[in-house]
Amino acid sequence: MITVLFGPPGSGKGTQAKLLVEKTFLPQLSTGDMLRTAIGHETSLGKKAKIYMDKGALVPDEVVIELIRERIGARDCQKGFFLDGFPRTLAQAEALDVMLTGVGKNVGSAVLFQIDDSELVGRLSGRRTCLKCHSMYHINTNKPKKPGICDKCNSVLAQRDDDKAVVVQNRLKVYHEQTSPLIDYYKSQNKLVTINAALPSELVFKFLVQALGA
């Protein structure tokens, strides 16, 4: 089962991907997490990606396509995986189809997390992320047990630079301009599943599991 999860920043794809991993034991492939790890390790790829991410812009297609190409060849991906935040452009979606066709596989479903922009600004500005394991919290709606500390790995929580208000506006603009064309792309392939991402997380998960037969 190969599933694409896409939607605007803050729509809950990452949170739902983690729940799907716990249920199915298939891995979550998050290009955002891969890039943040590269930034944390100060690799040359990380240094290059940071320039784009800090502005809320997309990292060039060829960089993320190569990250995914390397990752999906791994053993733990053979039974399927959840793509969280990839593809984000039509060029990435087409490259993904070509690479999967080459190994006799294909995307099963593409889930759109649908939610109004007005909801997202509050969600993103209150979001806090674990610097180590990338678990996510919210200062009002999903507090950690100890303030500022990750429940799962005891590391420090921080606000992502790109969750700050001025960058969020640009990320939303980039989503509408560059990622929303994926809606028609997957609709035309009969793979689009639309989920109301404004619902509470437990309900979103319930509908997701039903829709995917996970």
β-bridge mates for residue 59, sequence order: none
Rounded least distance, CB 171 to ligand AMP, Å: 5
Does position 92 interact with ligand AMP (CB under 6 A)? The reply is yes
How far, in Å, CA of 167 to CA of 92, rounded?
Answer: 23
Piece in contact with ligand AMP (CB under 6 A), picked from 28-36, 100-108, 118-126, 191-199: 28-36
Alpha helices in the chain (DSSP H): 13-24, 31-40, 44-55, 61-72, 90-102, 117-125, 165-174, 181-188, 201-212
Q: Which residue's CB is nearer to ligand AMP, number 60 or number 147?
A: 60
Work out whether strand 2-6 and strand 81-84 pair parallel, antiparallel, or are unpaired: parallel
Check if 123 is active-site.
Answer: no
- Please report whether residue 163 would count as binding ligand AMP according to CB under 6 A: no
Residue 128 binds ligand AMP, judged by CB under 6 A: no
Instruction: Decide if 18 is catalytic.
Output: no
Given candidates 6, 81, 86, 137, which one binds ligand AMP under the rule CB under 6 A?
86
Cβ atoms of residues 8 and 120 within 8 Å: yes
Active-site choice (36, 50, 88, 123): 88
Interatomic CA distance for residues 138 and 28, integer angstroms: 21
Restricting to residues 47-66, name those near ligand AMP by CB under 6 A: 52-53, 56-59, 64
Catalytic residue numbers, as ranges: 13, 88, 127, 160, 171
